[in-house]
Chains A and B, each alone.
Chain A
Amino acid sequence: MIHKDMTIVDLGGDNWSRLMKLPGELSALRRAGDAAPGRALLIVYRGLKVLKAMDALASTEVQVDWHGTSRLDLVARQTGYPFVVALEESALSRVFGHAQRELDFRADFLEQSGAFLRGAAREWRRTIFTYPAGPARVPLVPYRAVESFTRMLIPDNTVLLFAVTERGQVWASAVVGWRDGDFWLLSSLDTVGMEEGDLRDGGLEAACEKLSRRFGGRVRAVVTERSELERLARSRLPAVDILWALNTGDIRMIDVPRRWKALLSAASLAATRR
């Protein structure tokens, strides 16, 4: 799904910087007012010996009475950590070992990553333990299912433009190309000289036209103002707000399949605060 020789060009300077920072900024807005993130205790052990126990966020050492992986509840009670992860010292190298045993260097990157996930799943409750204990087995979605879903979701030969604007001018943008079952392109509006272009009054249509001429394929665009994104991030009912924004044009779309709109709404429904 990720092309071996994926073209990643003209990401811009400020453009890509802003885009890279955007998820962090939006999650900060989303988290604002929430309780502090839960604390977690990480224990690395060998048999009945603790090699290191530390606060997973602060990296500070924690003294624990160790009774083995079957009694992590005691550790949690003693230390007051609501979440405890215990890793046998070889856990990581065993995960790598599983992955390396089955990994094909020609395979897709996502498929390769799956080998590591499967490795971790195999080590679950063998060398990787948590409190609360979690499921007996870690269910993994097969790569083929992900691939089929993606193929179903994205029409072939699509070039997707996602742009965030400030008063109509491009603030950050990404251009992603999908062809023959592969993401083959990652770029930005910088590639057509519109890193800070105006997308109002036909500007968006012109950008799509330029992208189409440059990369071929059918350009589909999703554009919104930065302030709108921030409003959605703060929203307690993002599904409602997104549907509203789609209907009012606060989120502008060109040639976007209905399934994307449905998916967007479903995803935002899942993000609704309880």
Chain B
Amino acid sequence: MQYDTLPLVNYSIENQRLLIDGEPVSFFSGSFQYWRIEADLWSPILERVKGMGFDIIETYMPWSVHELGPGEFDFGHANPRHDLPRFLEACRSAGVKVLARPGPHINAEMTYFGYPERLFADEDMMARCADGTMVVLPAPPRMFPLPCYHHPRFAAEVKRYFHALADAVGGARALYPDGPIIAIQADNECSKFMRANPFDWDYSEHAVRLYRAWLRDRYSDLDELNRVHGTGHRAWQMIDPPRRLAASRRQDLPSVMDWVEFGEHYINKAVSDVAGMLREEFGDGVPLFHNYPVTLPVPPLDMTGAEEYLDFQAIDSYPQRTAYHGVRAGVKFTSAMSRFPVMGEFSSGSVYYALPLSLDDQKFTTWAILMHGIKGVNFYMIVERERWYGSPIKRDGSVRESRYEFFRGLLKEVREWGLEEMRCERGVLLLLNRSYERLANVSSILSPNSRLVPQFLGMFERPADMLISNEEHGLGEPVAARYARLLAFWYWALDAAGVHFAIGDTSAPAELLSSYRMVVTPSFEFMDRAVQQRLLDYASSGGTLVTGPRAPRLDSRMEPCDVLGRNMRAPLETRLKADVFGVELDEVSLYGGEGDGSSFTYRSQTGSGWLVHVGIVPGVFCCASDAEPFAPMVDTLARAAGIEPAFVPSDPLLDVAVWRGAAGTLLFIANPTEETIEASVSHTGGLTFKDMRSSERYGGELFDISLEPYTITVLGAEQ
């Protein structure tokens, strides 16, 4: 197709906002699945959607709905509900922009998740488990085998569908400003369908070929690969991926870790191939994005890698209010790591088999994600449809008043308060280490369970290592399990100290690290060479790096590398089951007296910054109260890094976030518990505040506040 004569949309992403023709887009949308609604109702329903304040809707464009048979498609000639061009025209006429999600995988609670049933008869095209069986997704109303996205026949099938789809809607003419489409999603929730344990799948012929090619790119030289893996392959074609975890020595780890890391490439390449096909059909004048099905995209998900070929990477979440911290952690991550932090799917109503989401849950969770840094939300579903309940607009176009009013009020407040132009203020970055995360994924007990699953059980509110094996893999300690516990420890200790922090991972570039005054990250015997260097550079150029308990001596290939470690001391003594601040820790390393006198930590000058070594291996920490004894230590570290805790509640269970922008300062205070909390909030800025909803005023350097269970109060600073 040629688009030379079409006006290309000039889009960009700046300051975490999507700009079209230089104008920021208020990225709040709702899902509306046209093929499940009578065509005559489309326009009236769009008017009601607009009535809530939305001027964007999102829709899947399902392959299985539009395909009648191989190469034969229906875009309205056989079934008026399938008339996608008419639907897009209805949107355009109504002044509603569209986020298009053509799949090929769409879920939408559809039988076979939007894939045409006929595909599954081609067994050769399907992905394979380690035991050679097809990978089945156990989902109602029919379980089905998963296709291998790297099989050329599957790619050709997808391409044929996209071509037909683009033809039907007029290709780039469907794009804004000619048409209503302002962004297209490449595939959906690509995460190996949550079966993300590295030893589960994909061992199909084309996946293994891809693995070999990836190794070849990585090592170039077979001898080098044999040296690192400890193998004796004579040709690249001889390499077979590991099918189970059999790493009793640390030298066995590199080959396993390569397979795990390849899993990230497997997903990224799948999405990038789909994105490439969409570019071919629709041109370059439209942002492409993708969404992860979990809030915290740990390996094999790779947000940084995804944003190399996509314009932005979103996350999805359907939280109950009790899942506050799981969602909060994911939002803290995405708002730090994505160039445009968006919820690709956020609950509005529920899937028929899920526990219900009450209106109060909806209010609390929606404000919770906005409070912690999400800049755009697609509410899934804003228009009810088959296999879904509780949306503000019903299938017949009538409205559920209470929910309708909630969304209308929400969008009004977000826009009136100028939240989209503001930035969430955070001085500390809690950094996940992708190598340790990979090891934790490898060590996830009971495959197909993976590191993604605990997120649905409560990643930090339950023992963080509950589904991670205690194996040591020749590293002298169970690194994966201890890493998970350390993350939870820092998460809760920062919280208890009232230090506002973001979450990122070690794929973060140096510029991102340097925008934080303090970076906290666990360290063990091995650490990727480039990561060691980046962390050291960060400290040397003025940052405060808080790390430990171990000084890294190896890189991720288990070869000597102490770029960071040589700046850290060996302990004088190590105590097991030691008491610190009245809390029993699994292990404490002592480095001699220095600083604040707690000898399990010391601070050393590194260039113009600082390296703080904290030599503790914590036990189980599941809430801020568990970590409260460590709050003074964290407070001292933060102040030494130049961070003045700005708004500190007297009850550590209250959560605070500060937003600043040209429009002013907003203070969010959340009570994510089942009890009413009465507490005071201290601050040093000399500001007075006004409740943005009730107009009640709060003054002085210490003000009292009372919050009902699961509520969020928003205060605005008065100049």
Contact = CB atoms under 8 A, between A and B. Distances in A.
Interface of A: 2-13, 15-18, 20-21, 44, 49-52, 54, 59-61, 87, 89-93, 96-97, 99-101, 103, 105-106, 109, 112-113, 116, 186
B470 A12 contact: no
B448 interface: yes
B356 A17 contact: yes
Contacts of B235: none
Nearest to B197: A93
29 contacts: A5-B111, A7-B386, A11-B352, A12-B389, A12-B390, A13-B390, A16-B390, A18-B356, A21-B355, A44-B469, A50-B470, A51-B470, A52-B467, A52-B470, A54-B466, A59-B463, A60-B620, A61-B465, A90-B447, A91-B446, A92-B448, A93-B131, A93-B199, A93-B200, A97-B131, A100-B134, A105-B117, A105-B136, A106-B142
Given A89-B447, A90-B447, 9 more contacts: A6-B141, A17-B350, A52-B467, A60-B620, A92-B448, A93-B447, A100-B133, A105-B136, A105-B143
Contacts of B394: 10
A6 B142 CA distance: 10
Contacts of A49: 471
Nearest to B357: A17
A7 to B, nearest CB: 7
A204 B193 CA distance: 44
A52 B447 contact: no
Contacts of B387: 8-9
A93 B134 contact: no
A205 B45 CA distance: 32
Interface string B434-457: 000000000001111100000001
Interface residues of B, number: 56
Nearest to B351: A8
Nearest to B353: A20
B406 to A, nearest CB: 12
A87 B446 CA distance: 8
A109 B143 contact: yes
Contact of B142 (A10, A15, A18, A112): A112
Contact of B355 (A15, A20, A59, A101): A20
Given A89-B446, A90-B244, A109-B142, A101 B133 contact: yes
A103 B386 contact: no
B386 A105 contact: no
Contact of A13 (B117, B354, B389, B468): B389
Contacts of B352: 8, 11, 16, 186
**Most chain B beta-carbon neighbours within 10 Å: one of A61, A113, A116:** A61
A96 B129 contact: yes
A100 B135 CA distance: 7
B140 interface: yes
Interface of B: 109, 111-112, 117, 120, 129-131, 133-136, 138, 140-145, 199-200, 244, 349-350, 352, 354-358, 386-391, 394-395, 400, 403, 445-449, 457, 462-463, 465-471, 620
B449 A17 contact: no
Best-surrounded residue of B130, B200, B449, B466 (most CB of chain A within 10 A) = B466
A51 B142 contact: no
Nearest to B391: A13
Contacts of A11: 352, 388-390
B141 A99 contact: no
Given A20-B355, A54-B466, A59-B466, A96 B448 contact: yes
Contacts of B129: 93, 96-97, 100
A57 to B, nearest CB: 11
A99 B463 CA distance: 31
Contacts of A106: 117, 142
B691 to A, nearest CB: 29
Given A21-B356, A96-B448, A101-B133, A116 B389 contact: no
3 nearest CB pairs, A to B: A17-B356, A11-B389, A100-B133
Nearest to B468: A52
A51 B447 contact: no
A36 to B, nearest CB: 19
Contacts of B467: 52
A185 B199 CA distance: 39
Given A61-B463, A116-B138, A16 B356 contact: yes
Given A60-B463, A93-B200, A105-B145, A10 B395 contact: yes
Contacts of A91: 446
A156 to B, nearest CB: 20
Given A8-B387, A11-B389, A93-B130, A20 B448 contact: no
Nearest to A3: B141
A105 B134 CA distance: 11
Contacts of A4: 111, 141-142
A21 B352 CA distance: 12
A2 B468 CA distance: 37
Contacts of A10: 394-395
A23 to B, nearest CB: 11
B49 to A, nearest CB: 17
Q: Which of A49, A51, A99, A112 has the most CB of B within 10 A?
A: A51
Contacts of A96: 129, 133, 136, 448
B79 to A, nearest CB: 14
B446 A44 contact: yes
Contacts of A12: 389-390
A159 to B, nearest CB: 17
A184 to B, nearest CB: 10
Contacts of B395: 9-10
A17 B135 CA distance: 33
A97 B134 CA distance: 8
